[in-house]
Chains A and B, each alone.
Chain A
Amino acid sequence: MTTENTRAPMRVVDKRITLSRRGFLKGSGMAALGVGTLSAATLMTPAREALAASFKVLGAATGKTLLVLARDIFPHDRISDRYYLQALEPLEAQAAADDKLKKLLTEGVAALDRLSKLRFNKAYADLAGESDRVSLLYVIEHGAFFQKVKGHLVTGFYDNKAVWPLFGYEGSSWEKGGYLNRGFDDIDWLEGA
């Protein structure tokens, strides 16, 4: 018997999404709930339409495309559309006060759809295959529209406190006394540590 076995286990952050039924219907957490056999994109479609309706400035159609685009830029299968919506909301708010930005976004979406129809006979957001959608993004990735959306999402998505636990990140700690008594040194899988 070694003393290793008596040590308390590492304090691990649960990265799963725990959703109420209402939350489940509004967003989507099926990957976390173990529904892995169906395409997440297909399952999400009705919920996505509902979320897209909240784009009052840019409109539901543009909003839906931006939601798909945001997920294709930073795809996290376990994370539901509503976090991508939260990431896009500040961009929409800016567009309400900035005609140039509004034009960039609406025209950018229109151009992406034109490209998509030319190549696949379908709008970008309606393409079922991720690799088809991504192939279009490689065409536009250096343009102002893609750069704007992607640049915004780096902070819009990853600086959203609501997504932090889903990455095992705990955020502000001083008000909890730091990690002095909350696992700053509790690693338990390292040999010899």
Chain B
Amino acid sequence: MSAKFSLDDDSVVVIVGSGAGGGTLADELTRRGVDVVILEAGKHYTQADFENDEWAMFKKISWLDKRISAGGWHHTETYPNLPAWIVKGVGGSTMHFSGLALRFLPHDFRIRSTYGEVRGANVLDWPISYEELAPYYDIAERKMGVAGTRASGLPEMPPNNHYKVIAAGAKKVGYTDISRPVASNTRPNDGRPACQQIGFCMQGCKIGAKWSTLYSEIPRALDTGHAELRPQSMVLKIEHDRSGKVSGVLYADKDGRQHLQKARVVCVAGNSIESPRLLLNSASSLFPNGLANSSGQVGKNYMNHTTAAAIAIHKGPVYMYRGFDIAAVISDEAQLNPDRGFLGGYHLEGLALHLPFTAAFMKPGGWGREVTSALEHYDHMSCVWVCGEDMPQEENGISLHPTEKDQYGLPIPIVSKTDHTNDAAMRRHGLAQWRKVSEAVGATRVIDMPPYPASHNMGTNRMSANARDGVVNKWGQTHDINNLFISDGSQFTSSSAANPTLTIVALAVRQAEYIAGAMQRREL
């Protein structure tokens, strides 16, 4: 049974956002008896709303409030108002999540120690190590039902045609680290059915085989009687008392009416664009540069992975859309190897696109026979997404538009990104390797695509050992305000080459343990 809390109840933990971070936190806090109010900006969709239709779902669930792409990256031209492809709704971007649940590598937590100073980048070690997070990765893999992992005990996802084509090419060029750890049930698990190879994983899994907080963590939290979910509640501002502790949040409901929910603790999990935006919008006379921003790092160091994409046209049919969206994932290049001419590494992730998105993303702005002669072979295509480490750079970030406001009266966010020279070298390498993998199995044409909008957003409230270098400590607790936490990917100090969701969940499990303990000890 869902709980109901009064606006004046200052004993609750308010969680802003219900995706991978917020949803997990709600589940983990409520199972420890902590009362939470979850404020979600988007609507509460259910599986009945999910369609096997790329554009219909894009229009239905995407975060389409106005944003501006700025800086030197290609999105300024190709996707001027869609810097990131994320979701506005209960469950957040876990609805759109491809399901790929890769762990960070140990060196990802020590990039300053590993790479040394990187010209033009703002590299820093995390205040936690892989070893400290490893047990929480186990819990996350169990919670999410990651196929083929020891922790979940679930069998591997059975290879589909798309997997087979990529894996065969990968083996021929000598790759050995080929896997597919995806958060989708390979047998009935956690009250959800097994994957039926429907192939619309990023449009919201119609049968709920793929993990999403929408139907996993959120209902479980509500069932404890310790949680209340308020959809269509856009948080406008975090309020604080005279001592500088946060005391509640001001939000607008679906009719635009404003409410102030009091809170003992506030946890922000609105994704790496909205979370820093909220801290900046909460500036006050006590905190003129925004909350938790004594370091000046709020909104800085935005990372979204160094990405590229490409299509290969094969000599026989593949039907890449048949089956789980993630195909073979090649991880050999995720390892460190400075001989390649760049720092960090990348995964080659087979990722199916359906026909409508293939037409839209293959060559944005393109037309004529160059485009159509490729699309005629849609049924013979395989498709890759290169996911590589993105260097944190201070000037890449989220800032507030000086004049333009959104429907809530808040300044719209400007998302600035300029590639680091490391990115270009990595992208070139990744696309060249994909070409080799594809041609090894006889692909007749390989087409490099510009990166399409990513759903990976990281780093804008980063974790640091010292308060001067970042926004939060090793628990995701802000250095400046002890009852204010960041619970999403904006905590990331480095991006790794791994898709962020598994790490967001692992961090949220660990944070919940800390918050519940600190509340019990009356430290919060």
Contact = CB atoms under 8 A, between A and B. Distances in A.
Interface string A158-193: 110000100111111110011110111111111111
Contacts of B206: 174
A10 interface: yes
Nearest to A186: B161
A174 to B, nearest CB: 4
Nearest to B55: A159
A179 B198 contact: yes
A41 interface: no
Contacts of B53: 171-172
Contacts of B356: 155, 158-159
B316 A158 contact: no
A171 B52 contact: yes
B317 A173 contact: no
Given A183-B322, A190-B165, A167 B355 contact: yes
A12 interface: yes
A53 B51 CA distance: 35
Given A179-B198, A184-B161, A191-B168, A173 B55 contact: no
B197 interface: yes
Contacts of A179: 160, 196-199, 322-323
B321 A169 contact: yes
Interface in B337-378: 354-356, 359-360, 367-369, 371-372, 375-376, 378
Contact of B164 (A72, A150, A182, A185): A185
A190 B168 contact: yes
A9 to B, nearest CB: 11
B251 to A, nearest CB: 34
A13 interface: yes
Given A12-B317, A174-B52, A187 B165 contact: yes
A73 interface: yes
Interface in A145-162: 150, 154-155, 157-159
A74 interface: yes
Nearest to B171: A192
A107 interface: no
Residue with the greatest number of chain B CB neighbours at <10 A, chosen from A76, A141, A169:
A169
A173 B360 contact: no
Nearest to A169: B355
A172 B203 CA distance: 11
Interface in B134-182: 158-161, 164-165, 168
A177 B359 contact: no
A56 interface: no
B441 interface: yes
Contact of A169 (B159, B195, B379): B379
Contacts of B55: 155, 159
B428 interface: no
Residue with the greatest number of chain B CB neighbours at <10 A, chosen from A13, A73, A158, A187:
A187
A15 B207 CA distance: 29
B367 A74 contact: yes
B118 to A, nearest CB: 38
A193 B168 contact: yes
A75 interface: yes
A17 interface: no
Contact of A189 (B315, B354, B355, B367): B315
Contacts of A159: 54-55, 356
A134 interface: yes
Interface of B: 51-55, 158-161, 164-165, 168, 195-200, 206-207, 315-319, 321-323, 354-356, 359-360, 367-369, 371-372, 375-376, 378-379, 441
27 contacts: A13-B317, A72-B368, A137-B367, A154-B359, A155-B356, A157-B359, A159-B54, A164-B355, A167-B379, A172-B53, A173-B198, A174-B52, A174-B200, A174-B207, A178-B195, A178-B196, A178-B197, A178-B199, A179-B196, A179-B198, A180-B196, A182-B322, A184-B158, A184-B197, A185-B323, A189-B315, A190-B168
8 closest A-B pairs by beta carbon, nearest first, are: A168-B379, A178-B196, A189-B316, A172-B52, A184-B323, A178-B198, A158-B359, A169-B355
Given A78-B376, A172-B51, A184-B161, 6 more contacts: A137-B368, A150-B367, A167-B379, A169-B355, A174-B196, A179-B198
